[in-house]
Amino acid sequence: MSALSELSHLKHRGPVTPEQRAARRKEASHDNKAGYLFLLPWLVGLFVFTLGPILASLYLSLTDYSLIQAPNFLGLDNYERMLTDDRLHQSLKVTLIYVGVGVPLQLALALGVAVLLNKGMRGLAFYRSVFYLPSMLGSSVAIALLWRQIFGTTGLVNQVLQLLGLDATTGYVSDPDYALWTLILLNVWTFGSPMVIFLAGLRQIPTMYYEAAALDGASRISQFARITMPLLSPIIFFNLVLQIINAFQAFTQAFVVSNGTGGPSDSTLFYTLYLYEQGFTRFDMGYASAMAWLLLAIIATFTAVNFLLAKFWVFYDD
Amino acid sequence: MTETIAGEIDAPRTPADHLRSLVKHAVLIAVSLLMIYPLLWMIVSSLRPTEVIFRAPGLWLNQLYVDNYAEGWFALSQAFDWYLVNSAIVVSGAIIGNLISCSLAAYAFARLKFRGRGLWFAIMLMTIMIPIHVIVVPQYILFNAFDMVNTFLPLVLPKFVATDAFFVFLMVQFIRGIPRELDEAATIDGAGHLRIFGQVLIPLMIPALATTAIFTFIWTWSDFFTPLIYLTSPDMYTVPVALRSFLDATSGSNWGAMFAMSIVSLIPMFLAFLFGQKFLVKGIATTGGK
């Protein structure tokens, strides 16, 4: 079971009688001491580095903390400032386009290739390695530098286009109309890791379903629509939730390709880039904290909506 | 097992099947080439003079121009091996931290019965999805208060308290697959939890530990955001931050040297991928799949 299906199953426990509850409690506290001892490092990490900071940033978001002076309480001023901050709106727009276009494209490609690479085909291991490799290297600075060259004025893309006789001189990374799309393409290029998850899921579908369908004369397309899609839907869901969360966090590629500016003309100003700029180049940590909370709220909303919509299309057979 | 049998049943081949398979391989090879070409081109280009990089889209090399490597190695304030060592220190710390802290927590979640386990487990699952950007500001303030900015501690310390919950989950999944009879036999022999954990489970968890080590290696090696924030002096830079500073040092024009050092930075990741692929694929499948 994936992390997500565990989460969504946690609440389905059903009613219990007081006696059952007492018995359960007794059993549940069997290894109390040992349990908390083994859990201790994680608990420290949770409170010091995760929950603590989340709560602290809620407080900081109501202040003007700048690391040098003690924080002044501002109330909701930072949040009000967000309403009129054009660059914040731009960063939201850029990020939403990146998530909204990049993730579906990436997942569609991952699913398509995974279905092509079906069980036991020749060369499976080779293809899987080739497709998986970019997703391992994709978040590195080296690849971002490569992208900067490839989509530059004299980059590989233009060289190839010129070879084909086209008069290609656009610098894609320095043109506000194209820059974001080069980053979306980079995200699509890393389709390998969701693909590996799809492959594992496809392997779980019993071959006999397809054999029975084929005997009944079902075409490959209807086999895909009626067997593969429903049985794979929990995994599509898992990939969707995870890749959306990942895409909201994209940072390195935009930072390197735009050399830290989010340019040209803020066309690659990802939300995380703007947050970094506010927090760590301007040291406006109050505003950055407010931005962090907005990000958390946005991601939580997206995830919650995903879970709600899942009822309509995700099929659990257990 | 069933896979090979099913594959053999499929074996009777009509010409149409044959054609379909041919088309499929053609498509897959075309996509593979498209995917991998930029990487191959970067390797080849790192062996070309910069002015040739701007006009040679092909992969043919007339001569090996290794000067890029010498030039890139010494282009920054320290020789490149300095940054490689910095990265190696951070990565080793992160791996050791993750292996110890995540396996301890995983043992508690998978094997021990204690009050509040369900709640903590749910919280653990949710923290997997919390973006670093949401907590980085207070974390920075905390490390700053303890004078740890511009040291490796902010990059390594959190790993010793299992902040990478993803690996806790991965190991919980793995331990659940290990028969409980083994623990019970050890309990009857009088073993306590520490011994069951250390002598029974840890040896059996090697695949999960390897997966954790390899993922931690690749992710920490390529991590850019955290070192960018915490490492302020160039002498402390890890490889990704050093690599990015090429853009300023050479005003972004010396592509030969930049590509050469990019290749150097990718080699350890590539090797980890090559030798660890089996574990990566399994690890990602057990946490992602059902």
Give yes or no for a contact between A19 and B88, defined as CB atoms under 8 angstroms apart.
no
What is the pLDDT of chain B when averaged over all its residues? 90
Residue B12 confidence (pLDDT): 53
Nearest-CB residue to A303 (from B120, B129, B140): B129
B chain contacts of residue A22, beta-carbon cutoff 8 Å: none
**Phi-psi domain of A75 (left: phi exceeds 0; alpha: psi -120 through 50; beta: other):** left
Give the gap in angstroms from C-alpha A159 to the nearest C-alpha of chain B.
Answer: 6
| Residues counted in chain A | 318
**Boundaries of every domain in chain A:** 16-60, 79-313
Write the DSSP symbol of residue A242: H
Give yes or no for a contact between B80 and B263, defined as CB atoms under 8 angstroms apart.
no
Q: How many Cβ pairs closer than 8 A exist between chain A and B? A: 307
Nearest-CB residue to B36 (from A130, A154, A285): A130
Token pair listed for A191: 């389709």
Based on DSSP, count helices (H) and strands (E) in chain A, helices before strands: 17, 0
Asked whether the beta carbons of residue A30 and residue B144 sit closer than 8 angstroms, the reply is: no
Q: Are residues B26 and B167 in the same domain?
A: no
Q: Are residues B125 and B173 in the same domain?
A: yes
Distance in angstroms between the alpha carbons of the first and the last residue of chain B:
19
Give the gap in angstroms from C-alpha B107 to the nearest C-alpha of chain A.
Answer: 7
Asked whether the beta carbons of residue A130 and residue B35 sit closer than 8 angstroms, the reply is: yes
Q: In whole angstroms, what is the distance from residue A138 CA to residue A199 CA?
A: 20
Specify burial of residue A258 (Cβ count, 10 A radius: 0-12, 13-18, 19+): buried
Within a 10 A sphere around the Cβ of A117, how many other Cβ atoms?
20
Looking at chain A, which residue has its C-alpha nearest residue B160?
Answer: A41
Q: Is residue B1 part of a domain?
A: no
Domain boundary, last residue among B43, B67, B91: B67
Looking at chain B, which residue has its C-alpha nearest residue A318?
Answer: B290
A27 and chain B: CB distance < 8 Å anywhere? yes
Within a 10 A sphere around the Cβ of B222, how many other Cβ atoms?
24
Nearest-CB residue to A45 (from B28, B118, B158): B158
Mutate to test the interface with B, among A11, A12, A32, A50 (most CBs of B within 10 A): A50
Query: Angle at CA A122, nearest 5°, toward A121 and A123?
Result: 115
Residue B63 confidence (pLDDT): 85
Residue A17 confidence (pLDDT): 74
Give yes or no for a contact between A78 and A290, defined as CB atoms under 8 angstroms apart.
yes
What confidence tier does B269 reach under pLDDT thresholds 50, 70, 90?
A: very high
Q: Is residue B101 part of a domain?
A: yes
Within a 10 A sphere around the Cβ of A154, how many other Cβ atoms?
15
| HEC sequence for A197-208 | HHHHHHHHCCHH
Asked whether the beta carbons of residue A38 and residue B193 sit closer than 8 angstroms, the reply is: yes
Nearest-CB residue to A54 (from B112, B134, B142): B134
Asked whether the beta carbons of residue B224 and residue A252 sit closer than 8 angstroms, the reply is: yes
B chain contacts of residue A256, beta-carbon cutoff 8 Å: 224, 244, 247
Q: Is residue B95 part of a domain?
A: yes
Asked whether the beta carbons of residue B285 and residue A200 sit closer than 8 angstroms, the reply is: yes
Q: Residue B211 pLDDT more than 50?
A: yes
Write the DSSP symbol of residue A261: S
Q: Is residue B179 part of a domain?
A: yes
Q: Are residues B35 and B80 in the same domain?
A: no
Give the gap in angstroms from C-alpha B242 to the nearest C-alpha of chain A.
Answer: 10
Of A46, A110, A89, residue with least CA distance to A246: A110
Give yes or no for a contact between A35 and B108, defined as CB atoms under 8 angstroms apart.
yes
Q: Are residues B163 and B245 in the same domain?
A: yes
Token pair listed for A224: 């895909």
Looking at chain B, which residue has its C-alpha nearest residue A240?
Answer: B288
Q: Residue B2 pLDDT more than 50?
A: no
Residue B183 confidence (pLDDT): 87
Residue B242 confidence (pLDDT): 96
Looking at chain B, which residue has its C-alpha nearest residue A197?
Answer: B285
Cis bond upstream, residue A264 (ω within 30)? yes
Q: Which fold has domain A79-313?
A: MetI-like fold (1.10.3720)
Q: In whole angstroms, what is the distance from residue A265 CA to residue A251 CA?
A: 17
Q: What is the pLDDT of residues B140-149, one digit of tens each?
A: 999 999 999 9
Token pair listed for B60: 């043919």
Mutate to test the interface with B, among A149, A189, A287 (most CBs of B within 10 A): A149
Q: What is the pLDDT along chain A (318 residues), one digit of tens a residue?
A: 466 667 666 555 556 677 777 776 666 667 888 999 999 999 999 999 999 999 999 999 999 999 888 899 999 999 999 999 999 999 999 999 999 999 999 999 999 999 988 766 888 889 999 999 999 999 999 999 999 999 999 899 999 999 998 888 889 999 999 999 999 999 999 999 999 999 988 988 888 998 899 899 888 889 999 999 999 999 999 999 999 999 999 999 999 999 888 889 999 999 999 999 999 999 999 999 999 999 999 999 999 999 999 989 988 765
Q: Are residues B158 and B28 in the same domain?
A: no
**Phi-psi domain of A118 (left: phi exceeds 0; alpha: psi -120 through 50; beta: other):** beta
**Phi-psi domain of A260 (left: phi exceeds 0; alpha: psi -120 through 50; beta: other):** left
Give the gap in angstroms from C-alpha A7 to the nearest C-alpha of chain B.
Answer: 7
The type of residue at A150 is I
Q: Are residues B164 and B205 in the same domain?
A: yes
Residue B5 confidence (pLDDT): 39
Q: Are residues B107 and B235 in the same domain?
A: yes
Would you call A63 helix, strand, or coil by DSSP? strand
Nearest-CB residue to B113 (from A27, A45, A293): A27
Based on the structure, what is the number of domains in chain B?
2
Nearest-CB residue to B163 (from A45, A201, A255): A45
Mutate to test the interface with A, among B46, B123, B134, B247 (most CBs of A within 10 A): B134
Q: Is residue B3 part of a domain?
A: no
Give percent of chain B with pLDDT exceeding 70: 93
Mutate to test the interface with A, among B55, B133, B159 (most CBs of A within 10 A): B133
Asked whether the beta carbons of residue A34 and residue B193 sit closer than 8 angstroms, the reply is: yes
Residue A244 confidence (pLDDT): 95
Give the gap in angstroms from C-alpha A297 to the nearest C-alpha of chain B.
Answer: 10
Q: In whole angstroms, what is the distance from residue A58 CA to residue A207 CA?
A: 52
Q: Are residues B213 and B271 in the same domain?
A: yes
B chain contacts of residue A251, beta-carbon cutoff 8 Å: 133, 224-225
- Residue B120's domain spans which residues? 73-288
Asked whether the beta carbons of residue A38 and residue B107 sit closer than 8 angstroms, the reply is: yes
Of B73, B87, B79, B82, residue with least CA distance to B261: B73
Q: Are residues B56 and B164 in the same domain?
A: no
Average pLDDT over residues B23-33: 92
Q: In whole angstroms, what is the distance from residue A115 CA to residue A119 CA?
A: 9
A185 and chain B: CB distance < 8 Å anywhere? no
**Phi-psi domain of B48 (left: phi exceeds 0; alpha: psi -120 through 50; beta: other):** beta
Asked whether the beta carbons of residue A29 and residue B53 sit closer than 8 angstroms, the reply is: no
Give yes or no for a contact between B169 and B102, defined as CB atoms under 8 angstroms apart.
no
User: What are the residues facing A63 on neighbouring strands?
Assistant: A73
ipTM: 0.90
Residue B289 confidence (pLDDT): 42
Q: What element of type H or E holds A90?
A: helix A86-116
Token pair listed for A272: 């995380």
Query: Angle at CA B213, nearest 5°, toward A3 and B73?
Result: 125
Nearest-CB residue to A154 (from B10, B54, B107): B54
B chain contacts of residue A132, beta-carbon cutoff 8 Å: 273, 277, 280-281
What confidence tier does B61 reach under pLDDT thresholds 50, 70, 90?
A: confident
Q: Are residues B117 and B143 in the same domain?
A: yes
Q: Are residues B56 and B84 in the same domain?
A: no
Q: Is residue B2 part of a domain?
A: no
Looking at chain B, which residue has its C-alpha nearest residue A112?
Answer: B28
Residue A14 confidence (pLDDT): 58
Give the gap in angstroms from C-alpha B98 to the nearest C-alpha of chain A.
Answer: 11
Asked whether the beta carbons of residue A28 and residue B273 sit closer than 8 angstroms, the reply is: no
Query: Angle at CA A153, nearest 5°, toward A147 and A158?
Result: 80
Q: Are residues B237 and B256 in the same domain?
A: yes
Q: What element of type H or E holds A123?
A: none
Distance in angstroms between the alpha carbons of the first and the last residue of chain A:
11
Give me the CATH number covering residue B238.
1.10.3720.10
Q: In whole angstroms, what is the distance from residue B215 CA to residue A166 CA?
A: 43
User: What are the residues facing A73 on neighbouring strands?
Assistant: A63
A263 and chain B: CB distance < 8 Å anywhere? no
